[in-house]
Amino acid sequence: MQEISKSIIKQKYLAPDETSFEERLDVIANEVASVNTKKKSKQGSALFKKYRDLLERFSPGGRIIQNCGRNLKKTTMINCTGLNKIPDSMTGIMSSMSNLAILLQAGAGVGCNFSSLRPKNDIVKGIGGLSSGPVSFMHVANSICKTIESSGRRGALMSILFVSHPDIEEFITCKDKRGVLSQFNISVGITEGFMNAVKKDEDWELFFINENTNEKVLYKTIRARYLWELILKHSYKYSEPGVVFLDNANRLNTLYFGEEITLVNPWTASCGFKSV
């Protein structure tokens, strides 16, 4: 193992009383064996040897490597998670941000879809003011992620905005400046309807559906190819945004009967696994 690898493992994965990666794997195998036998398993057991051998050929997720067998009750062994739909109200948004903070503290990465938030400069009747839009609340989430650290691990966020959202142009260009929204990967939620409009060089409607009245409000109509080219140019120049083909993801989802996929998590985004 290279020295840099040993340094990273010591810094990010080993418990204070552990001195090597092999020792960490021993603890993981012992913990898994103990759970499966419903009692503490001696390291010489056949089940321990089975799992320990498997760990020489297979690497579990980072949260498992770091947290398994350490009795850290506020951490997770799930690498990446996703927020539920963010309500379009200050109370709802802040509740979602609280959940985001808890997930980050536990060590998980978090996927978010900000499409449920009303567009920038939309009227907020209750206060007589204007909405700051989805991208502004991405900055809130980014600050939370920068502030909260779990066991030395840098937080990771993933944001999606539907291609039909009125703020989609701002979203596509929101990471043009280096260092802005640095905790986020971003992707545009693409639909088959949009891709058909691109192929036929048709217009594309940007709209928002009010969650209280279920009213669809049209904000703008633009050329679908203009929007697609904007995505491609920024993806080429800045490596973001990515795209997620949501219709395909839901059509191929084996849990289609109980859920709708509207987001992906940071692991899916950063490792390059996109919906096809």
Interval 160-192: pLDDT, tens: 999 999 999 999 999 999 899 999 999 999 999
Q: Residue 210 — very low, low, confident or very high, per pLDDT cuts 50/70/90?
A: confident
Tell me, yes or no, whether 276 lies in a domain: no
The predicted structure's pLDDT at residue 152: 59
Identify whether residues 85 and 21 lie together within a single domain: no
The predicted structure's pLDDT at residue 32: 87
Q: Residue 276 — very low, low, confident or very high, per pLDDT cuts 50/70/90?
A: very low
Identify whether residues 56 and 102 lie together within a single domain: no
The predicted structure's pLDDT at residue 44: 56
The predicted structure's pLDDT at residue 62: 87
Phi, psi (rounded to 5 degrees) for 209? -105, 120
Identify whether residues 37 and 111 lie together within a single domain: no
Task: Check pLDDT > 70 for residue 275.
Answer: no
Of 264, 7, 39, the closest CA to residue 160 belongs to: 264
- Expressed as residue numbers, the domain containing 152 is 80-270
Residue-wise pLDDT tens digits, 30-82:
888 887 766 555 555 788 889 999 999 998 988 899 889 888 888 888 888 99
Identify whether residues 14 and 57 lie together within a single domain: yes
CB atoms within 10 A of CB 78: 16
- State the burial class of residue 178 (Cβ atoms within 10 Å of its Cβ: 0-12, 13-18, 19+): exposed
Identify whether residues 215 and 145 lie together within a single domain: yes
Residue-wise pLDDT tens digits, 226-264:
999 999 999 999 999 999 999 999 999 999 899 899 988
Identify whether residues 163 and 260 lie together within a single domain: yes
- Given a contact cutoff of 8 angstroms between Cβ atoms, the answer to whether 133 and 206 are in contact is no
Question: Which helix (H) or strand (E) covers residue 5, if one does?
Answer: helix 3-12
Question: Which helix (H) or strand (E) covers residue 99, if one does?
Answer: helix 90-106
Q: Residue 271 — very low, low, confident or very high, per pLDDT cuts 50/70/90?
A: very low
Q: pTM for this one?
A: 0.84
The predicted structure's pLDDT at residue 40: 56
Identify whether residues 104 and 23 lie together within a single domain: no
The predicted structure's pLDDT at residue 272: 43
* Largest interatomic CA distance in the chain: 69
Residue-wise pLDDT tens digits, 103-141:
999 888 999 999 999 999 998 888 889 999 999 999 999
Q: How many domains does the chain have?
A: 2
Residue-wise pLDDT tens digits, 146-160:
998 655 567 889 999
Among residues 19, 36, 67, the one where a domain terminates is 67
CB atoms within 10 A of CB 115: 23
